[in-house]
């Protein structure tokens, strides 16, 4: 996050809001308008992304994107709007996820998007879950049968 300095004025903080609502101009939209207005009043630039407008496929758990360590998101083989959204995230200083609560959790639209953020994880194929490793790093009797 950038500090509040003269450099910040010429190079404002960029805040990207990502919406999981099914209704534009609903409760979530108007609540977020207040948040984004406050951010703009503090000098930030704001952008809205409605997941409703985007083509986003389900994560297929192929793990292609989780094989490389590092801060960059791994490459997903699915060609859809996630690539452009990830570029927006990369160019942002802050992101805000905004979703109605539907059946005690975020909407299916938001959940599908969040699952695709697995590309920020490093989970090489064949890696064992931490809890099943011994101090020597092997799984011993707890070796799982498949790739979890």
Ligand X SMILES: Cc1cc2nc3c(=O)[nH]c(=O)nc-3n(C[C@H](O)[C@H](O)[C@H](O)COP(=O)(O)O)c2cc1C
**Beta carbon of residue 120, minimum distance to ligand X (angstroms, whole number):** 26
Cα–Cα dist 15/38, whole Å? 11
Q: Considering the rule CB under 6 A, would residue 79 count as an interface residue with ligand X?
A: no
Cα–Cα dist 39/34, whole Å? 9
Q: Considering the rule CB under 6 A, would residue 35 count as an interface residue with ligand X?
A: no
Q: Which is nearer to ligand X, 73 or 113 (CB)?
A: 113
Q: Considering the rule CB under 6 A, would residue 102 count as an interface residue with ligand X?
A: yes
Contact 73, 86 (CB under 8 A): yes
Contact 14, 91 (CB under 8 A): yes
Cα–Cα dist 42/94, whole Å? 14
Q: Which is nearer to ligand X, 20 or 73 (CB)?
A: 20
Q: Considering the rule CB under 6 A, would residue 23 count as an interface residue with ligand X?
A: yes
The binder of ligand X chosen from 79, 101, 141, 148 (CB under 6 A): 101
Burial of 107 (0-12, 13-18, 19+ CB in 10 A): buried
Q: Considering the rule CB under 6 A, would residue 104 count as an interface residue with ligand X?
A: yes
Q: Considering the rule CB under 6 A, would residue 96 count as an interface residue with ligand X?
A: no
Q: Considering the rule CB under 6 A, would residue 34 count as an interface residue with ligand X?
A: no
Q: Considering the rule CB under 6 A, would residue 18 count as an interface residue with ligand X?
A: no
Contact 43, 10 (CB under 8 A): no
Cβ-Cβ contacts under 8 Å for 85 (sequence gap 6 or more): 18, 49, 54, 56, 113
Q: Which is nearer to ligand X, 12 or 100 (CB)?
A: 100
Residue nearest to ligand X (CB): 26
Residues that bind ligand X (CB under 6 A): 21-23, 26-29, 100-104
């Amino acid at each position: 996050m950038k500090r509040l300095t003269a450099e910040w004025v010429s190079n404002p903080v960029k805040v990207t809001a990502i919406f999981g609502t099914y209704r534009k101009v609903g409760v979530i939209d108007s609540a977020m308008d207040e948040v984004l207005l406050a951010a703009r009043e503090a000098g930030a630039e704001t952008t809205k992304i409605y997941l409703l407008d985007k083509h986003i496929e389900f994560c297929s758990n192929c793990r292609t994107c989780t094989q490389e360590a590092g801060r960059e998101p791994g490459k997903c083989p699915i060609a859809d709007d996630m690539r452009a959204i990830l570029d927006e995230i990369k160019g942002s200083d802050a992101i805000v996820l905004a979703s109605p609560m539907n059946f005690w959790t975020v909407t299916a639209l938001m959940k599908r998007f969040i699952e695709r953020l697995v590309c920020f994880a490093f989970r090489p194929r064949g890696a064992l879950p931490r809890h099943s490793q011994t101090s020597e790093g092997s799984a011993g009797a707890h070796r799982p049968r498949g790739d979890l």
